[in-house]
Amino acid sequence: MDRLFLSPPHMSGKEQAYIAEVFASNYIAPIGEFLDRFESLICEYTGVRHALALSSATAGLHLALRVLGIGEGDYVLASTFTFIGSVDAILYERAKPLFVDSDESWNLSPALLREAIATAPQKPKALILTHLYGQMAQIDEIASICKAEGIYLIEDAAESLGASFGGQKSGTFGDIGVYSFNGNKILTTSGGGMLISDHADWISRARFLATQAKEPCIYYEHREIGYNYRMSNLLAAVGVAQMEVLEERVMQKRAVFDWYREALRDVDGITWMPEISGSRGNRWLTTLTFDAIDPIRIIDALEAENIECRPLWKPMHLQPLFEDALSVTDGTSQRLFEKGLCLPSGSAMQKKDVERVCGIIRGTMR
């Protein structure tokens, strides 16, 4: 049978038409109408005042640290249960990560965050908070802690565009937010990201750094290190087309999750990633844990039937790259990694696809 991927791109049908407009205008570089439109649409959707389209979410996190003045020797708190792109930028700036474990929401624990702040060798300057798998963290409590402690809050909303808490969009609670448009995300431009903030000066500074830190001269003059981080007008055209169907994609992802939960409702030993009270996740990936079976057996059984399935993220404090990093953990994220899986969750999936996956899971668990 055709391969069932974890989270493949899902085009709206307008992308090629918009790309044709870009080619007709000859503005295919990081400047043009669609780049401006994409940034404006993100602002309109999220309610944030300023946005900057970039080559990746990792670039966005790097620029966030730069504009906030995070540098060598500074401590940056971060979710340990996340993808490496969430925290690489800390190393780019020669800062020091301090990883914080998860709570029952699978996202960063506010209680352990308080402990990490209290026990850090010096006052952390920022927190990079990941909204995991499209589900909101306890953002109200976490934002309150950061404000009280004078710690910048950077929301890694790479996976959670379209999620919300109390009606407010993911990525807009902190000082700076970052989205990803990688090929597997709910909105994709093949590769790309967006930096957002209500602080105009920070976005202006990030825009300067993202375009090689070129001084405003007729010739090329550079007084500090810059980066080639801007998104092209060509890819922004894809983003504009994707924005037109974002809410539809969120509802499709949520439907896929509901199909899985219904199909496996009578199977013991399964726990689904929760959705915290007052929030709406985008259910980017349908994720669950198994109590009585090694998840690798499920992965192998699905792969034998041409179906892609992945373990949950391996926590950053368990990665060889960070073997010397500080962390405040209680075993939650390690248990999730050892027991959990991401199931195929494409927004174009049909109910029969979900039933195909669930049939294999049931057969393997017998």
Q: Is residue 3 part of a domain?
A: no
Q: Looking at residue 240, what DSSP letter applies?
A: H
Domain boundary among 243, 277, 293: 243
Does some domain include residue 195?
yes
User: Are 318 and 180 in the same domain?
Assistant: no
Residue 10 lies in a domain: no
Judge whether 9 lies within some domain: no
**Tally of structural domains, the chain:** 2
Phi, psi for 293 (deg, rounded to 5): -145, 145
Residues 269 and 186 in one domain: no
Could you tell me if 215 and 250 lie in one domain? Answer: no
* Phi, psi (deg, nearest 5) at residue 7: -155, 75
Whether residue 271 lies inside any domain: the answer is: yes
DSSP state of 322: G
* 219 lies in the same domain as 323: no
Looking up residue 194, the CATH number of its domain turns out to be: 3.40.640.10
- Are 59 and 172 in the same domain? yes
Q: What is the pLDDT of residues 12-41, one digit of tens each?
A: 999 999 999 999 999 999 999 999 999 999
pLDDT at residue number 84 = 98
What mean pLDDT do residues 168-186 have? 98
Q: pLDDT, tens digit, for every residue of 54-113? A: 999 999 999 999 999 999 999 999 999 999 999 999 999 999 999 999 999 999 999 999
The answer to whether residue 1 is domain-embedded is no
Among residues 203, 221, 243, the one where a domain terminates is 243
Instruction: State mean pLDDT over 326-354.
Output: 98
Give the dihedral of Cα atoms 334, 340, 341, 342; nearest 10 deg. Answer: -70
* Domain extent for 314: 246-365
264 and 291 within one domain: yes
DSSP code for 122: S
Structure-token pair, residue 297: 């057996």
Closest C-alpha to 161, from 175, 180, 143: 180
Are 86 and 187 in a shared domain?
Answer: yes
Return the number of other C-beta atoms located less than 10 Å from residue 13's C-beta: 9
pLDDT over 90 at 280, yes or no: yes
278 and 289 co-located in one domain: yes
Strand, coil or helix: what is 237? helix
pLDDT, position 316: 98
Residue 275 in domain = yes
How much is the pLDDT for 132?
A: 98
User: Is the model's pTM score more than 0.95?
Assistant: yes
| pLDDT confidence tier of residue 366, bands split at 50, 70 and 90 | confident
Give the mean pLDDT of 164-190. Answer: 97
Is 7 inside any structural domain?
Answer: no
User: In terms of domains, do 113 and 225 share one?
Assistant: yes
pLDDT score for 1:
79
307 and 192 assigned to the same domain: no
Instruction: Please identify, among 243, 258, 293, the residue that sits at the C-terminal boundary of a domain.
Output: 243
344 shares its domain with 196: no
CB 299 within 8 A of CB 309: yes
pLDDT, residue 173, reads: 98
